[in-house]
């Protein structure tokens, strides 16, 4: 959510943000409603003041004056009730539109309508080449009895899976590698709930626009598709000491996504599943653009280092306007090389939001001048499993069907080779 004062003063900027993000949002409609809201609010406050004045005068009034005042109070009460009902309706519509105002993207964000228009920033490593026909991760896992997709579907339905044997061990080895890497870099470890209240989803910007992709309980709570939601809600409605900023978290939770709109995409294997596990970076810092940019580069670099330790080729892309979420100022995707598809596939997304999320969540700090301000927020996928297994299994496959264990994981796996 943006400050309404900022929106009033920068309507053209909001209009341009909606254009660049390819969002259907009419800032003029919001401003008209805002003006009507302010007018009604002023009228209601004026009538309340008059009501208070009359109430103070009544006890000392004579009989004739008292009758006049009571009659005027009755008329005033009816008019005030009517305007209060109007104000309630207008405020509800105003709040709905306020939740749809797009954050202003950074000037460096490329133009474009979809991920096809994202621009490559840098590459690391050379795409893996084989002197044999490489198998997909599905073929590799089935041949080595590392996964059971049929029984996974029987248990959990479409996109269900069961990791087995060395695949499960590889999954946990990746978790341990991530934990050690981020603890060395000064991040605080959190394990957070995946069952989260609606307020947290509204605060992080996943609602109301993304409701179709969320699992909802009968009690009105939701299952999160990222640990970011619960981590951001951790400090909801709190004032943080400025000397404690930045707050840097490596946070973990089970995650759930309906994958609405992905019918026919990645229907086999581990790339797109309904239940998975994520390690997420979350940073809360002082309200300064340069500081946000600095930490955006940091969280991207730290996730790149995971692939570098595992020697997985990847590239980083700057997401275009049409591939940004409502609240994102800028986003990088890290995409790892997948040999069977002869392309890069997304494994990480690093974003910064300025105070878009923290204004909704009411997370503030008092700066050195004593002024109350909203902190800035950033987040990035450190590791999403089992998706992260896909490039590892495929890039380390051998001609005989076995799979080498990356050197960085051998200490956790206790072996160098995965065989049948």
- Annotated catalytic residue, options 37, 159, 257, 364: 257
Q: Please confirm, yes or no, whether 65 is among the known catalytic residues.
A: no
- Annotated catalytic residue, options 349, 351, 364, 377: 349
- Annotated catalytic residue, options 37, 359, 364, 387: 387
CA 91 to mean position of chain CA atoms = 26
Nearest one of 293, 295, 287 to 364, comparing CA atoms: 287
Give the CA radius of gyration of the chain: 27
- CA distances in angstroms from 131 to 37, 344, 365, listed in the order given: 69, 20, 58
Residue pair 252/227 in contact by the 8 Å Cβ criterion: yes
Q: Please confirm, yes or no, whether 346 is among the known catalytic residues.
A: yes
Q: Which residues of 378-416 are buried (b: 16+ CB within 10 A; e: fewer)?
A: bbbbbbbbbbbbbbbbbbbbeeeeebebbebbeebbeee
- Annotated catalytic residue, options 199, 259, 305, 346: 346
Q: Please confirm, yes or no, whether 257 is among the known catalytic residues.
A: yes
Nearest one of 329, 291, 321, 284 to 103, comparing CA atoms: 329
Please, what is the angle between helix 27-57 and helix 63-98, to 10°? 160
Q: Please confirm, yes or no, whether 387 is among the known catalytic residues.
A: yes
CA 88 to mean position of chain CA atoms = 30
- Annotated catalytic residue, options 272, 301, 345, 373: 272
Residue pair 194/253 in contact by the 8 Å Cβ criterion: yes
Nearest one of 383, 163, 127, 402 to 280, comparing CA atoms: 383
- CA distances in angstroms from 312 to 138, 307, 341, 388, listed in the order given: 18, 5, 15, 11
Quote the CA–CA distance of 413 and 373 in Å, as a whole number: 47
**Which residues are marked as active site?**
257, 272, 346, 349, 387
């Amino acid at each position: 959510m943006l400050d309404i004062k900022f929106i009033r003063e920068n309507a053209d900027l909001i209009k341009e943000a909606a254009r660049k993000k390819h969002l259907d949002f009419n800032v003029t409609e919001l401003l008209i409603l805002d003006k009507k809201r302010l007018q009604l609010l002023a009228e209601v406050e004026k009538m309340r003041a008059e009501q208070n004045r009359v109430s103070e005068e009544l006890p000392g009034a004579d009989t004739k004056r008292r009758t006049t005042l009571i009659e005027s109070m009755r008329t005033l009460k009816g008019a005030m009730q009517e305007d209060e009902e109007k104000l309630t309706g207008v405020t509800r519509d105003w709040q709905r539109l306020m939740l749809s105002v797009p954050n202003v993207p950074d000037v460096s964000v490329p133009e474009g309508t979809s991920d096809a228009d994202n621009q490559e920033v840098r590459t690391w490593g050379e795409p893996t080449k084989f002197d044999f026909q490489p198998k997909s991760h599905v073929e590799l896992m089935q041949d080595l009895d590392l996964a059971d997709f049929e029984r996974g579907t029987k248990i959990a339905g479409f996109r269900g899976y069961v990791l087995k044997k060395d695949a499960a061990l590889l999954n946990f080895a990746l978790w341990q590698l991530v934990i050690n890497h981020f603890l060395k870099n000064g991040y605080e470890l959190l394990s957070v709930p995946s069952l989260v209240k609606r307020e947290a989803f509204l605060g992080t910007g996943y609602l109301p626009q993304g409701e179709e992709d969320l699992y909802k309980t009968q009690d009105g709570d939701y299952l999160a598709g990222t640990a970011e939601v619960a981590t951001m809600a951790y400090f909801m409605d709190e004032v943080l000491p400025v000397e404690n900023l930045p707050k840097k978290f490596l946070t973990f939770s089970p995650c759930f996504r309906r994958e609405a709109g992905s019918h026919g995409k990645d229907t086999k294997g581990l790339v797109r599943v309904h239940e998975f596990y994520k390690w997420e970076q979350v940073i809360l810092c002082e309200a300064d653009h340069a500081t946000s940019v600095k930490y955006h580069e940091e969280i991207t670099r730290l996730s790149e280092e995971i692939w570098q330790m595992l020697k997985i080729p990847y590239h980083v892309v700057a997401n275009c306007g049409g591939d940004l979420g409502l609240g994102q100022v800028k986003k990088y995707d890290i995409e790892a090389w997948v040999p069977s598809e002869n392309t890069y596939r997304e494994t990480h997304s690093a974003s910064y939001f300025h105070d878009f999320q923290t204004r909704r969540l009411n997370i503030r700090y008092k700066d050195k001048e004593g002024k109350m301000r909203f902190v800035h927020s950033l987040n990035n996928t450190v590791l999403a499993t089992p998706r992260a297994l896909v490039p590892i299994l495929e890039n380390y496959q051998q001609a005989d069907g076995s799979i080498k264990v990356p050197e960085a994981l051998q200490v956790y796996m206790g072996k160098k080779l995965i065989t049948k």
